Each structure stands twice: as C-alpha cells, then as structure tokens.
Chain A
Amino acid sequence: MARIAKNALPVMLLVLLGSSVSAEPLPYVYTRWKQFTVADGLPNDHIFAVKAAGPHVWVGTENGLARIDKRTGEIETWREADGLPWKVVSAIDVNRKTGEVWIGLFGGGLARYSGGRFDHFTQLNSGLVNDVVYGVAVENDNVWVATTAGASRFNTLTGEWSIYTEKNAPMEEIWNYAATYNDGRVYLGVWGSGVLEFDVEKERWKVYLDPDGEMEIDLYRDDGLVHVITTGVSYVDDILWVGSYFGGSRYDGRHWRGYFNQDSGLPSDFINFVEGRSADEAWYCTDKGVGVVTDFATNTWVIYTRVPGTDSGQAVVMRDREVLKTVPMGLNIPHNYVLAADVDGNDVWIGTSKGLAWGIGEDYYAGIGGSASKASRTAATAEAGK
C-alpha cells in the first residue's frame, strides 16, 4: 500500500532586506518558498525528476516515487513494495490527454502508472533499447525514452516500438540523456552527439553540434552549441534551451547564444537540467544553485542559492556579470546541487539532491517590465506576511 503523509505546514519565507538597491528595472524574484524532504513524507531526499500536472506534482527520487497534492499538501509515495518496478526514478512525464504517468527508471526500464497500476517495460520484454533511462517525453500518443544506448519511441495506441541509434539517426554517439517534446518537435540531448531534433510530421532528423568539434574549448560563444556533451533540452515558444556540463545554449532557429559562468548569471557551467518557461526565460539547474535567465534580451538573471553555513537562502539579480540586487530570504532551495525543475503556471518546482522546493509566484511577471512597482509590491507583501 502506498503511504500517505501529511505535509508540514507551509512556511512563509520572507524578503528581509535587499542588500543592495538598484534603480534598474528588475525581474521577478521568488520570495515564497516551501520545502519538502523525507521529514515531510518524501520517500527520499535525492530528487532526480519533478513534473507538475494539474493539482499534482510527481516527484522521482533515488528511492521511490511521490505525488504531492498541492491543494492539501498530502504526499503519496510508492516504493518497490508498493508496485513501483524499480526504486530509482530518473524521469517523469504525464500524458495530459489520458493522465497516464510515464516513469523513467534508472536501470529499471520504463513504467506507466495508470488506474492505480504500474505497467513495466524493459529491454527484455519490449522495444525499450536499454533499461538505464535518463529522459521521458510524451509526444501526442507516443512516448519517447532517452536511454544510455539509444532512444525508443512507443506508440501507446498500436503498441509499436521504434528504436533510434547510430544505425538510423544522426547519433555519433548513442548515449541519450534528455528528451522533450513541444509544438511538433522532439528534441534529444545526446551525450557526445549534441542535440537531435525530430520533426514529428515529416519524420526527419536534424542534428546540432558544437561547430569547433573540440572537447577542450569553445572557440566562439555564439556559433552553435557550446559543447556536444548535452544534459538537458527544453523547447518553448520556438526557442530551444540546452544544458551541458560545459555551459548553456539558446537557439531561436537562426541565432545561437552561449552562456557560461564567466558572462552570465549561471552559477556554474555544470548544468544538470534546463527547463524553459518562454522564449525569454529558462531555469538552469547546476551544481551550485539555480540560474534563471529571466530576460534574454538584457541578459538579466536571478540566481537562487542556499547560503553556505546557514539555513537561509538568497537571490542575486544580475545583468551580464554585474550584481544589481541581492535579496536575502529564508530558505529557498534546500540544497545547491540542483537536478530538476518544472514550471507550473506562475510557480516553479526545484529538485535538489537534498529535497524539493516549491517556489510560489503569486504575482509573477515575465521579463523586467513593470518591475519597479511589482518588486515593491512583492516586498510589501512579504513585509505584511512577516
């Protein structure tokens, strides 16, 4: 039986003081955060995946699956004893049409949770190319699975599987790391082979690589992907956001833009995951915090970190490498080693190696427009809460 635990009471986290004040138009800064850990009912604190779907948030951990009910705060969990086929959950996507939850299992294949039942797909009982799954993406009636030895596509209507490797796709290497679908295109982040784009209608592949072809350098910042070892892909508003262990990239179909710690608000070039919110905003999950490019045009970022040695967090607003404002706050993200993120309307969910964070964006606004009044309103709201 799945275990149900009551979540702890929400914690209102406040903006205490801005350590610096800027007259610059500022982006929205999340100041209300709520954390979830084992103490609150999660099966494990090491969060590998998070996916919001309606009133629920699905959480994949190193030792089990969880579903948080945002309305009640209840957490339902599944471990192997509850029917979860394998304990390490590395990826999650939800079919919005059917409600089916597709679960990537790290070394355990693929699972579908529907109607209170888990169906299990492995490389021995299905067309799944490998059991070590890094990414899952629902595309119409298909499910794409990024595995360590190629990608698989499962047609949920016909039961047909397709396998993509170096034999039939432009994968110089077959080590798939990430999968995403939006607006007719599937993108695969392939370790050592950059990003692959699959046009669903035309069934054609296109490959994006680092033009300089060298592992030890990026010759020019904006000539293409910053590196071929890609770890995350997200496609939204015709913009492709890419993460790698060597920096980030943004592609609008014509122009590339590279991001490094040296020229942006990226807290680190080691990017575990990226989630795009719009053409202007993306959340980069790194080993040293979350770097959010909030306004592409002005290269304005907000960096959320837990402050070492404290139980507090802070947000730093940056433009290029200039700090515009530092916002101390109560705890924001539970840990700076960040592995997953999902945008949930105005809210965001952040998975770290030591717990999950829910950023509540009641008065979220995009970009930096109208920021002066909205920022002061945010501060006022926080003050009122205090």
Chain B
Amino acid sequence: MKGWIPFICALSLLAGCAKDIPSPRDPGVEAKREVSIDPDTAEVLQRINAVDAYDVPELELKAEIDYARTSDDVVPFGAEEPYRKHFLEQMEYTGPGRAIPEPAQLETVKIGFIGPIEATVSVATGGRSHEEDLGVKMLQGSKLAIEHANARGGYLKRGIPFELVVKNDNGLWGASGNEIVDMAYEDEVWAILGTIDGANSHIAIRVALKAELLMINTGDTDPTFTETNIPWVARCIGDDRQQGYLLVDYMIRKLGYQRIGIIRSSNRYGRFGVREIVDSARRLGHPIALEMAYALGRDDYTLQLERLKAANVEAIVHWGDARESAVILNQMRSMGMQQPYFASDRTISDEFVELAGDNAEGVISASSWNPNRDDAQLEAFRRAFRERFDEEPETYAAHAYDGMNMLIWAVQVAGLNRAKIRDVLAHRKQPWPGVTGDIPLSATLDDMGEVFLARFEKGDWNYLSREDLQISSGDIPVGSASGGDTASSIVE
C-alpha cells in the first residue's frame, strides 16, 4: 500500500459547507479545507441516504479468500477443510438506524474517548492498573485530532465544534461497560474511540453493538477483538496476530530456531498476545519449548527464567509491558542467559530503554508501524504534538490521532447519524492515509496495514519491513527464507 495516492474528489455533499475539512494527509491547521470523499464513498453515501428504516442498502461487502493473510501452513487444522469459515465476508448492519434524523438542537458534536487514564485497581485488568501511561498518550493523540478539526471549523455542516467526552476504563468490575452506556445514552456521543485492555475492549464493544454505536480501537492488539462478528467495531492498529506472524516468520522460517521459549504476563494481553506465535510455531513443526507466565507487579522472575534456562531454548519471546520487559531482560543477562530477546511492541518505549541500559542492544520487538519513515504528514503530526504537549508522540498517541481522524472524517461525510457514520467508515475501500501509515480495513474492519520488526541498535530503534527482512507473506519453507542470518545480523 506504500505510495498509494488516493483519487480524491472533493464533493460538496455537505451543503454549503464542504470547504473546511483538511485532507487526512495534512494534520496541521493550515491544511486545505475540504471534505474529501472518494468516488466509492460517494456511492456508499448515495445508497445509505436512499433507504428508509425498513430497507438495507446494497453496499459492496469486503471479501477475503484467506482470513488475516494466514499462510496455508499455519491455518488451524490445515489438513482438514473446516465445515464453516468465518470472517471472510464483511458483516452488514441491517437495522433501522439510518432513518434516524439529525437532532435539531446541538451545541457540539460529541465523540467519546474511553481508556485507562487514571490509576486504580481493576478486576478486568487483573489487579493493579498498569496501562495509564499508554492511555494518557492515547488521549493526547485523540485531543490533538479534535483540536485540529475544530481549528478547521469543527463539524462543518453546522459550524459547531467537536467535543471529546473522556471516560476512564480502569474502574472496578467492568466499568467500561457502564461508561459506554453513559456515553451512548446520556452523553449521546456519535462514535467512540478506545480502549487498550483486551477485557475492557470486549466489554465495550458488546455495549456498542446493542446501543448501535461505532467504536474504533487504536490500542488493543488482542486478535480476538475483531473476531466477534460485530459490525460496529473497527481497529486501526496492527494486531498481535500480524505481529506474531512476522515474528514467527523471522524466528523460525528465516533464522531456523527450533526451540523457542516464551515468558509473558498472565493477563489477557499476555495470554492472547502469544497465541498465534504458539499455534504457528507448533504448526510449523517447532512447538514452543516452554511458556511461562508471571503475575503483574513483581520484580523477581527467577523462577520463570531458571525453567526457561533449563529448557535450553535458543531464543526468548516476551509479551508484556515495557517495565517488565526490561526487568526480565536484565535478570536474564545477569543469569548468563544470552539468548536473543524478542518482544511485543510495548517494549518499544523510553522506559524499557532506560531500565534495560546496555542490555537493550540487539533486542527485537514487533511493531505495528514504522515511526522512522520519511513522511511529511508524520513529520507535521510530530511537530504539532511537540508544540501541544512538549514531548514526542509514541505509538498510542499516533494511532489514536489516526483513529480519531477516521471518526471525524466519517462524521463529516455521513452527518449526525450513528448508522451512517458506521457505514462510511466500514465500507471505505481506500486505505486511510494515516500518520502511522496506510490503514486498509479488512472484512472484519481490522487494520491490515504493514507491521514491522524493530531492532534496538546504538541507542535507536531500527524498523524493518518484510521487504527489508526479505520475508514475503505466505508460505515460506522453514529456515530457507534467506538463509545465513542470525538475530544479530538482520538484513537491512
């Protein structure tokens, strides 16, 4: 999808006010002001505006041959043709919501935000909360997108500003559900962005389904998030399935490792994050030698590491937060374990680098994007983020900025109707040109954009694509992808 240049036609479908919306490629307030509607979206708009409450518009459904670009040799029960395959065709919304008229009196256009922004103890997240740092970044990215939209005129059809309704999802006993209900029925938001924790995300999307409210996720990489057949859910961050596939392709197909060990957090992030790695490794004939889980909040991982050491593994994969990743790595090295260290994308953080010190050198993490790429839009976003928050944007901020811009675009195009907002985003054919890269949505409305491996070298993360790594997607004979590489000699 690199280099894709959308054919954009600026249609004045929002009568008299289709002038002030920036192209998604221009995040700054100086950007060109127009509603960008490609011809396919214009067709969607025409069809959804033509139906009443009782008819379902004829919209082309996204279709795929292979779910999630899974290569044949790692599909479940590969030797057996399943009776039923799911997720190959996009889900429809068949309800009457498109006929609901825009409300007459509004002072703002409310968009919901839900994420872990306040520290607490949470059943859903397995005890003490631990994702506030990520949630605050996500909120910053969301705020910036809202502020940029308002600087360009807000909701152009009415000339009123967008308003961000902010909720915390770290509360007790599945609070995210209550918060989504409030946003749907009390705050009356038009769409929602959130969350990060997998458990809270699943709670939230069930509510969004019943309340018929679009929810876009920018920070939960749990593969099962979009494997729910809910037509009201989208995600704009590469998930752990895609990240896991790339790690497995690199570790097993390219480097030829046969004994890999896993250490992961015992929460849902760790449990589901490694699932595709475990399954793929087994299906490729090299099952994970040992998988060890740890409870959050501990500093001593001796038990897990001693067992991994005894298992004589060639490489270790960690799936958990940045702090734990650094502590585990340091303990590994102090125990004399010199195995290559692979990790999930949360390891890519200043916290990890600071805590790991010299041990960070050579660590390889999966990444849902390449923040080092040369891209004017990304640079403009970085500049704006620095000016606004006096710090560098990271993964959660950047993806939230993209996700919020996608929602804002959908609202501007569709108008104030929840079903139509869902429609224009769900049936958008062109990838969203985000600051994190192109975001093509799959049949399950999941982000099928490119994912990367990041290697920490000489104080910086170096991001490598499949092309850089000389690993194509699909079936590749194990150990023969390119040959001769080791974890410390990645092809660049």
B207 touches A335 (CB 8 A): no
Q: Known: A212-B76, A216-B85. Is A130-B94 also a contact (CB below 8 A)? A: no
- In angstroms, Cα B206 to Cα A216, docked, is 19
B202 touches A192 (CB 8 A): yes
Count of interface residues, chain A, beta-carbon cutoff 8 Å: 55
- Secondary structure class of chain B's binding surface, majority of residues: loop
A218 touches B82 (CB 8 A): yes
A229 touches B177 (CB 8 A): no
- In angstroms, Cα B123 to Cα A380, docked, is 61
Q: Known: A87-B185, A148-B177, A246-B86. Is A177-B206 also a contact (CB below 8 A)? A: yes
Asked if A234 lies at the interface with its beta carbon under 8 angstroms from chain B, I say: no
| A 342-367 to B, binary, CB cutoff 8 A, 1 in contact else 0 | 00000000000110000000000000
Residues of A within 8 A of B94 (CB): 287-288, 336-337
A107 touches B177 (CB 8 A): yes
Which single member of A129, A218, A269 contacts B83 (CB below 8 Å)? A218
- In angstroms, Cα B178 to Cα A130, docked, is 8
Query: How far is the CB of A101 from the nearest CB of chain B, in Å?
Result: 21
Q: Known: A192-B202, A246-B229, A335-B54. Is A219-B178 also a contact (CB below 8 A)? A: no
Q: Which of B121-161 contact A (CB under 8 A)?
A: 123-124
Identity of the chain B residue whose Cβ is nearest the Cβ of A107 in the assembled complex:
B181
Residues of A within 8 A of B199 (CB): 173-174
Count of interface residues, chain B, beta-carbon cutoff 8 Å: 41
Asked if A28 lies at the interface with its beta carbon under 8 angstroms from chain B, I say: no
A221 touches B177 (CB 8 A): no
Q: Known: A132-B181, A216-B86, A246-B86. Is A123-B173 also a contact (CB below 8 A)? A: yes
Q: Known: A129-B173, A191-B202, A245-B229. Is A217-B181 also a contact (CB below 8 A)? A: no
Asked if A175 lies at the interface with its beta carbon under 8 angstroms from chain B, I say: yes
B185 touches A88 (CB 8 A): yes
- In angstroms, Cα B173 to Cα A147, docked, is 10
Asked if B285 lies at the interface with its beta carbon under 8 angstroms from chain A, I say: no
Query: How far is the CB of A305 from the nearest CB of chain B, in Å?
Result: 11
Asked if B67 lies at the interface with its beta carbon under 8 angstroms from chain A, I say: yes
Q: Which of A138-197 contact B (CB under 8 A)?
A: 147-150, 165, 173-175, 177, 191-192
Asked if A116 lies at the interface with its beta carbon under 8 angstroms from chain B, I say: no
Query: How far is the CB of B48 from the nearest CB of chain A, in Å?
Result: 15
Which single member of A149, A177, A245, A336 contacts B173 (CB below 8 Å)? A149
Residues of A within 8 A of B227 (CB): 215-216
A221 touches B84 (CB 8 A): yes
Asked if B96 lies at the interface with its beta carbon under 8 angstroms from chain A, I say: yes
Which single member of A90, A148, A226, A287 contacts B203 (CB below 8 Å)? A148
Q: Known: A216-B76, A262-B84. Is A148-B174 also a contact (CB below 8 A)? A: yes
Asked if A385 lies at the interface with its beta carbon under 8 angstroms from chain B, I say: no
Q: Which of B221-252 contact A (CB under 8 A)?
A: 223-224, 227-230
Asked if A247 lies at the interface with its beta carbon under 8 angstroms from chain B, I say: yes
Asked if B4 lies at the interface with its beta carbon under 8 angstroms from chain A, I say: no
Q: Known: A149-B203, A212-B77, A270-B229. Is A308-B84 also a contact (CB below 8 A)? A: no
- In angstroms, Cα B86 to Cα A212, docked, is 13
A175 touches B206 (CB 8 A): yes
B202 touches A337 (CB 8 A): no
Q: Which of A104-145 contact B (CB under 8 A)?
A: 106-108, 123, 129-132, 134
The 4 closest A-B pairs by CB, nearest first: A107-B181, A149-B174, A132-B177, A217-B82
| Interface residues of A, Cβ cutoff 8 Å to B | 45, 48, 87-88, 90, 106-108, 123, 129-132, 134, 147-150, 165, 173-175, 177, 191-192, 212, 214-221, 226-227, 229, 245-247, 258, 260, 262, 269-270, 287-288, 306, 308-309, 335-337, 353-354
11 more contacts with CB within 8 A, not counting A149-B174, A260-B83, are: A88-B185, A130-B177, A130-B178, A147-B174, A216-B85, A216-B227, A219-B82, A246-B229, A247-B84, A308-B55, A335-B54
